[in-house]
Amino acid sequence: MRVMIDATPLLVRSAGVKNYLYYWIEHLRRAAGAGVIVTFPALGEFGHIRHEQSVAGLWRTWTGLGSLALANRTPLPVSDWAARGADVFHASNLIEHPPRRARLTATIHDMTSWLLPEFHAAGNLRADRRFLEICKRADGLIAVSQSTKNDAVLVAGLPPEKITVIHSGVADAFFAVEAGTIDAIRKRYALERPFVLFIGTIEPRKNIDRLLDAYGALVPDLREEFQLVIAGPAGWAPQSTIARLSEARYLGYVPEADLAPLTAAATIFVYPSLYEGFGFPVAQAMAAGVPVVTSNVSSLPEVTGEAALLIDPRSTSELRDAMARLLLSPDLRGQLATRGKDRAREFRWETCAARSLDFFEGLI
């Protein structure tokens, strides 16, 4: 078996999809070998993951993006030539003309372009609608959660028998963060007080305004003891939201290498997203042993199980009360930290890779 994975999202600015592809391909190669798992374009070994930059060097990035542009401008012959010898081709939403000679598949990460189109740029909506046409032609599809599969069937009309749920994983770094690295990260970012943490791109779906409102509604003593820290690149949030980031300690983009110790340093992790296909930051916080407050919508209850406090993400008072309850109760924090770590162990990249290889085999 030879599987070619469209890895072009690794060459551009991206967050969740890039995180998925980076660790997924890495663990697929470990399990099956680099001769079985190849990429379009050919990238060889990856560098460190950087959500703001390509994981490849300058030359491989430019030639890779050039290959993508050529494949998109010239229907079929270029992608057919690139995928010669592949039994399975796994497409991303960046390729417009996947090859015809391999079994076609893709991963559905979320359905926000259909459920919350007002939160997306026009270019993203166009790309996702093209991607849906690929999904309709696919021989089989992966969904990163049961919630995402349900939405794909309900909203896009994709046949459920074609979709296999394979949960994403959590990087090993989050499961064993050393105390020394936590101390170092506190010093690096000058985090002297205990803090409530949010990590994510600053965009409307992440519900930053409500988080700021809820934190601001905490009693003064709690706000004095626990600062709110927000980490993540500025995305496509309204300027009014960007202006409000000064109400918290805003760190901006945080390199991947700093995410695990930063997460582990938090007193609690809060993620009131309006929709997630999987929810990497929540799973990572649980793996790091940090108690979580998150939304009771989309995939988030599926990922957290009984290991988090769930709230209506459109209710400021529910979010405020859940934060206060957790900040005021060390015992509850300890219980959720233990449950969360146990729950996160169910989301390992080794398991994801093994199930994905079985899925690919089933397509041939």
pLDDT at 223 over 60: yes
Number of CB atoms found within 10 A of residue 343's CB: 20
pLDDT tens-digit map of 246-283 = 999 999 999 999 999 999 999 999 999 999 999 999 99
Number of CB atoms found within 10 A of residue 234's CB: 14
| CA angle at 81 for the pair 75 and 87, rounded to the nearest 5° | 105
Number of CB atoms found within 10 A of residue 285's CB: 31
Nearest Cα to Cα of residue 260 among 194, 168, 191, 172: 172
Phi, psi of 312 (to 5 degrees): -75, 115
Under 8 Å between Cβ of 214 and 230: no
Higher-pLDDT residue of 169, 238: 169
The confidence score (pLDDT) of residue 218 equals: 98
pLDDT tens-digit map of 90-112 = 999 888 778 888 999 999 999 99
**In the structure, what pLDDT confidence band is assigned to residue 81 with cuts at 50, 70 and 90?**
low
The confidence score (pLDDT) of residue 44 equals: 75
Residue with the two structure tokens 């997630």: 276
The confidence score (pLDDT) of residue 276 equals: 97
Model confidence, pTM: 0.92
Under 8 Å between Cβ of 68 and 26: no
Which region among 60-74, 134-148, 156-170, 318-332 has the lowest average model confidence (pLDDT)?
A: 60-74
pLDDT tens-digit map of 160-216 = 999 999 999 999 999 999 999 999 999 999 999 999 999 999 999 999 999 999 999
The confidence score (pLDDT) of residue 60 equals: 66
203: which 2 tokens?
A: 């965009």
The confidence score (pLDDT) of residue 101 equals: 84
The confidence score (pLDDT) of residue 270 equals: 99
**In the structure, what pLDDT confidence band is assigned to residue 289 with cuts at 50, 70 and 90?**
very high
The full set of domains in the chain, from first to last, is 3-169+348-363 (3.40.50.2000), 172-344 (3.40.50.2000)
